[in-house]
Structure 1
């Protein structure tokens, strides 16, 4: 019986040591997160970092878009200023043409001569106003024909000018800065 008691005590000690080891392992494992276990704070941190990254990207894109809008607006304002008088100039050009035609009439009468002088002054004032606003006439006899600035109405034989040059101007053309307001109607030498 003594042997049985000794063996029983021995078994109890082994069981206690096993229980102590298991308890120590459980405590140590509780202190260390398992590899499969996800830390909720780390998940929140990762989500916050991703959200910050997305917001930074959106901010950069928004800033670039604002810069593009500002540049586009500046170009539009520049074009509006550059071509500001286009509509008015187009409306005034027929009056200039009529004044030029009126000056072609020959008169001997003193009253008609005074009227002609008044028409000349008016035409000079209008022409100066057009020039001051960046509008210039195009289409002169002897000028090389340019289809971007001139409209060929006919081609004629001419001894006065070379081939592909303007032989006759039927109606002056006008250019605002670099934009054609009205092409010159011309006859081109063959």
Structure 2
């Protein structure tokens, strides 16, 4: 009985030794398998860096496109500003062309009136020619929006009238325009020249 028990204990001990040996071998084998996992992690990190670089490159390209578009827009604006300045200068230079073109017939009539009066020495014809030419001139100016300012008999208005003298008068209310020394004119809604007037005052 003791010999069988010793054999059983020896068998158990050998099995334990074999099990420990197998676990040790398995542990060593497991440590070797970790190396490929570490290599895969490094590869994934490299892929992540490449993926991060692509958006940066796209942003650089987009920024360059915006900058080029800005340069083109700036050039277009500079050209527009240059054209506008030239057009403005040209307009200011020839703004009176239409009016002068309308006044040329008036100038022609003045020349004819003067020439005819020199030849005929007819004063009455000269006056008649001048009156006709003046009406023609007045018509052209009215078409351009020029109108005389009413003054005599009107209450004095500092926006329309320029008082150069005050006169005592019992026939007019105080501050009434009694005489016009120089006619004033309105150009559409703007005072071109105020009327030069005498204003009444009560003594």
Same fold (TM over 0.5): yes
Q: 1:12 to 1:155 in 2, by over 3 A?
A: farther
Q: 1:166 to 1:8 in 2, by over 3 A?
A: farther
The SS at the match of 1:148 is coil
- Does residue 1:23 correspond to 2:23, yes or no? no
Q: Deviations over 1:145-181 (max 9, x none)?
A: 3333322212223344433332211011122223333
Tell me what 1:171 maps to.
182
CA shift for structure 1 position 52: 7.3
Where does 1:55-94 land on structure 2 (aligned, <5 Å)? 58=70, 84-85=95-96
Q: 1:133 to 1:53 in 2, by over 3 A?
A: same
Distance in structure 2 (CA, Å) of the matches to 1:175 and 1:182: 7
Tell me what 1:144 maps to.
155
CA shift for structure 1 position 57: 9.2
**What runs of 5+ residues in structure 2 fail to find an aligned partner?**
1-13, 104-121
8 A Cα contact 1:139 1:169, kept in partner: no
Tell me what 2:10 maps to.
none
Distance in structure 1 (CA, Å) of the matches to 2:64 and 2:153: 70
Higher relative contact order (CA 8 A, sep 6+): 1
Q: Deviations over 1:70-105 (max 9, x none)?
A: 9xx6xx97xx69xx559x79xx9xxxxxxxxxxxxx
Tell me what 1:122 maps to.
133
Q: 1:56 to 1:171 in 2, by over 3 A?
A: same
The SS at the match of 2:164 is strand
Alignment length, in residue pairs?
A: 155
Q: Residue 195 of structure 2: which of 181, 184, 190 is its match? A: 184
Distance in structure 2 (CA, Å) of the matches to 1:36 and 1:24: 19
Calculate the TM-score normalised by the size of structure 2: 0.53
Q: Deviations over 1:110-147 (max 9, x none)?
A: x5444333332222222112112211111421233333
8 A Cα contact 2:163 2:196, kept in partner: yes
CA shift for structure 1 position 55: 5.3
Cα RMSD, aligned residues only: 4.5
Distance in structure 2 (CA, Å) of the matches to 1:170 and 1:156: 13
Where does 1:102-121 land on structure 2 (aligned, <5 Å)? 111-121=122-132
8 A Cα contact 1:165 1:189, kept in partner: yes
8 A Cα contact 1:145 1:188, kept in partner: yes
